[in-house]
Amino acid sequence: MKFVPGPPQLPTNAVATPPAVWPGSSSVLSATPGEDGDTGEWFTDGCGVTLVPGGSRRR
C-alpha cells in the first residue's frame, strides 16, 4: 500500500496590516497554513513568479 497525500489545505486568517500599501511603505502579511506541515508563500505579483524573501514560514 502506498500513501499519497492530498492537495494542500487553504490557509486561514490571512491578514495584511495595513491592508493598503503605497510606494515606499510596507505591510506585514500573516496567515495560518493548513495542517500536515503546509507552509505559506508570499509573492510580489499575482502569478506566483516573484517570491518575497523570507516569505515562507511555518506558523
Tens-digit pLDDT profile for residues 14-44: 898 998 888 888 888 888 887 776 777 777 7
Please give the pLDDT value at position 29.
Answer: 83
Please give the pLDDT value at position 7.
Answer: 77
Please give the pLDDT value at position 27.
Answer: 84
Please give the pLDDT value at position 17.
Answer: 92
Q: Could you tell me which residues come within 8 angstroms of residue 4 by beta carbon, excluding any fewer than 6 positions away? A: none
Please give the pLDDT value at position 58.
Answer: 45
Name the pTM for this structure.
0.56
